[in-house]
Chains A and B, each alone.
Chain A
């Protein structure tokens, strides 16, 4: 009797849960599918022959299976391997340094006892609204700092992002003051409070912002285009963009009226399958590394546990 009652009770409590779960699975499942299908098409496309793709468009399964596109990408395997290494090292170094600076700054800006916090927030935020354009930045890097063909020219531009800073601040601001005050009463300095009390509490935030910084480095080709001439220093994405950007250049060339027939025939266009293979080559590793960060978004943390 008692058993059935509790069972009944569970069903009663569970109804909302069932509704929610149904919604959650349907919604997330649908969005995941919409995100996955195009990627599968790109994946299959990268293993298809160019002729089949131009004739029939994209499809779920490879058409006329071939490795041609990948042979083209890996024509010089050493170059690709070196580019991978460059990108991976840059991503890791940039992420660690960037995360440190961002967290430290966000921590100060989130301190309610720091009267100047809004002034400094404004100081940072203002730079997202106004910028001087490409020319002065280019001159700064190449002339003033003389960083052409220097890895610093790839590291520095993405090291600090106000966007990430303010997201981080919004996470830190949620930590109760009492916790931090308690730490200070225990004799912790600011840095120790930050590292030993605050950081463990915002692991999900660190993982998220760390991921964003890493993605920014991983996807960056623009700075390489501007500042790197030495081919041995190219990061991975730059290979992709050099090839893909040819299409744009080509369209402009055709549209520009005075067309040089020599130039038209010299420009080599990436095939559709090559574009797709490059997407896979560039995306693969970071998707495989994603679960490392992911576990922090999946498991919550208990402040009580830290507090205790």
Chain B
């Protein structure tokens, strides 16, 4: 993709100029301006010492191809709650943006509770804004693209206005962001491990004669031992661990958060997709769950429990907690502080499998299709992405007030209460090559364990990615069947996953019938059709 750089550069400049001419009334028209861009793609990577060493790709703007004479006020929507010092921090960011790009940015938040309702209303009502946080699955990406809300980002557009991002992001990231071959978001760049691990009571491990939980057999043994001992092992069936441990994973975009169709990620040349109910693993899992639930591995009320994930572990009602590494460590520390005798530790039940980081698209930023300043918005995003000063500000706050630097690439928190660390929806432009890592002065055993696990994962990253893992199913053509299937699964799916049905085989059969009559076959056909098309574009 990066071959023929010179050619691309030339194209980019031309397109940039054309864009300037074409968008007569959209803030690009005034000719002969005095200010020109100083794109930062290059400058950024200097401090980190890694990433793009070759800066030449980022010079389109510096060559004066982009006219920045008109001052622009950009508007960005982020997800979450505004922290007390947020405006102060963004005033600092705006100083940099004013100087470099002759623009400023104002941020509105869609709080956690309201973004489900308001995200789409912003687009429906034609609100005037430029940038918005987005992500497939959890933050409206596919839905917004399906309704035509986000601006398609062509390669030329990215190269021209965000050369720094183009340098940093690998091709696979753009592949993950593509819907029907077209990219609508800028994914972040970091190796975030979202995998669930287990926080486990160390005293119980010892009691049951175990030292670690590293695979499915260990989980099973531990869960059943807990049940026999009269303590709940966890809060429901470890479904995710099961299919991952067998080398399978869900196909993104399929019904029920992508869990109704499995792919064999372990075998990158296995081009089959496995419909959940035709996959032997599912039936076996359900039978095992029935056995474990009947033994008392978890409460029969799990489907309704008002408890949060950590409640069982913290109150001593459950022996484990399933969550991502960071959360497991946080709550394990909290529980150990109150009950040192529990000696809670963190185990990786998939230790025998290589890890792949989250998709880059787990967090990202899109441009509103009716934005009047798409070019400047992209340039500003490039700045957030590649300018270490802005990256630090958005992630950590003001140096000296909220944090202090330790060496070149570490930080230590001074005041976490008014801005927080990585807490202000700065995730859309996280750029690992310039991001600072936390400096921990006195490591607890749990910190060591966390560090150790992370290092193990990073040292042994699964390189052999199944091509389907970067594909995301677009259900627009079968939306009726999709909705019907999601509704029809309700009565059986969750009870099966947690072993709460009376007759496993009968329930699976009932689920199959419900899904068939809701039109699952149409969805499977459409998935196969799209996969064929997708594979054709890859080759």
When chains A and B are docked, how far (Å) is the Cα of A226 from the Cα of B125? 12
Any chain B CB within 8 A of the CB of A258? Answer: yes
Any chain A CB within 8 A of the CB of B401? Answer: no
A229 contact set on B, CB distance < 8 A = 108
Q: Does B138 lie within 8 Å of A253, measured CB to CB?
A: yes
Q: Which residue of B lies closest to A142 (CB)?
A: B125
Any chain B CB within 8 A of the CB of A259? Answer: yes
Any chain A CB within 8 A of the CB of B118? Answer: yes
Q: Does B112 lie within 8 Å of A134, measured CB to CB?
A: no
Q: Does B315 lie within 8 Å of A266, measured CB to CB?
A: no
Any chain A CB within 8 A of the CB of B250? Answer: yes
Specify which of A231, A249, A254, A266 is in contact with B116 (CB 8 Å cutoff).
Answer: A249
Q: Does B81 lie within 8 Å of A268, measured CB to CB?
A: yes
Within the complex, what minimum Cβ distance (angstroms) separates A6 from chain B?
62
When chains A and B are docked, how far (Å) is the Cα of A257 from the Cα of B250? 9
Q: Does B194 lie within 8 Å of A260, measured CB to CB?
A: yes
Q: B128-165, CB under 8 A of A: which get 1 and which 0?
A: 00000001111000000000000000000000000000
Q: Which residue of B lies closest to A229 (CB)?
A: B108
Known interface pairs A253-B138, A260-B138, A268-B81; A242-B363 also in contact (CB < 8 Å): no
Interface size range on A against B: 35 or more
Any chain A CB within 8 A of the CB of B79? Answer: yes
A257 contact set on B, CB distance < 8 A = 137-138, 250, 252, 257-259
Which parts of B398-425 form the interface with A (CB within 8 Å)? 420, 422-425
Specify which of B121, B135, B358 is in contact with A134 (CB 8 Å cutoff).
Answer: B121
Q: Does B315 lie within 8 Å of A55, measured CB to CB?
A: yes
Any chain B CB within 8 A of the CB of A8? Answer: no
Known interface pairs A259-B138, A262-B422, A267-B80; A245-B324 also in contact (CB < 8 Å): no
Main secondary structure of the interface of B (DSSP, over half): loop
A266 contact set on B, CB distance < 8 A = 80, 420, 422-425
Q: Which residue of B lies closest to A248 (CB)?
A: B113
A261 contact set on B, CB distance < 8 A = 192-194, 324-326, 358
Q: Which residue of A lies closest to B309 (CB)?
A: A254
Q: A222-256, CB under 8 A of B: which get 1 and which 0?
A: 00011001010000000001101110111011111
Which parts of B206-242 form the interface with A (CB within 8 Å)? none
When chains A and B are docked, how far (Å) is the Cα of A139 from the Cα of B116? 17
Known interface pairs A134-B121, A242-B113; A264-B327 also in contact (CB < 8 Å): yes
Q: Which residue of A lies closest to B323 (CB)?
A: A264
Specify which of B112, B114, B326 is in contact with A265 (CB 8 Å cutoff).
Answer: B326
Within the complex, what minimum Cβ distance (angstroms) separates A49 from chain B?
12
When chains A and B are docked, how far (Å) is the Cα of A43 from the Cα of B349? 42
A253 contact set on B, CB distance < 8 A = 112, 138
Any chain B CB within 8 A of the CB of A41? Answer: no
Q: Which residue of B lies closest to A244 (CB)?
A: B113
Main secondary structure of the interface of A (DSSP, over half): helix
Q: Does A260 lie within 8 Å of B326, measured CB to CB?
A: no
Q: Does B257 lie within 8 Å of A54, measured CB to CB?
A: no
Q: Which residue of A lies closest to B141 (CB)?
A: A258
When chains A and B are docked, how far (Å) is the Cα of A287 from the Cα of B138? 40
B338 contact set on A, CB distance < 8 A = 51
Specify which of B82, B125, B136 is in contact with A139 (CB 8 Å cutoff).
Answer: B125
Q: Does A241 lie within 8 Å of B324, measured CB to CB?
A: no
A226 contact set on B, CB distance < 8 A = 117-118, 121
Q: B160-175, CB under 8 A of A: which get 1 and which 0?
A: 0000000000000000
B108 contact set on A, CB distance < 8 A = 229
Q: B96-113, CB under 8 A of A: which get 1 and which 0?
A: 000000000000100111
Within the complex, what minimum Cβ distance (angstroms) separates B522 from chain A?
22
Q: B73-95, CB under 8 A of A: which get 1 and which 0?
A: 00000011110000000000000
A248 contact set on B, CB distance < 8 A = 113
| A–B Cβ pairs within 8 angstroms, 22 of them | A51-B338, A138-B121, A138-B124, A139-B124, A242-B113, A244-B113, A246-B113, A249-B113, A249-B115, A252-B116, A253-B138, A254-B309, A257-B252, A257-B259, A258-B135, A258-B194, A259-B362, A260-B138, A261-B358, A262-B363, A263-B425, A267-B112
Further 19 A-B residue pairs, CB within 8 A, beyond A54-B307, A242-B81:
A54-B314, A134-B117, A134-B121, A225-B117, A242-B114, A245-B113, A253-B138, A257-B250, A257-B258, A258-B194, A258-B258, A258-B362, A259-B362, A260-B363, A262-B430, A265-B422, A266-B423, A268-B81, A269-B308
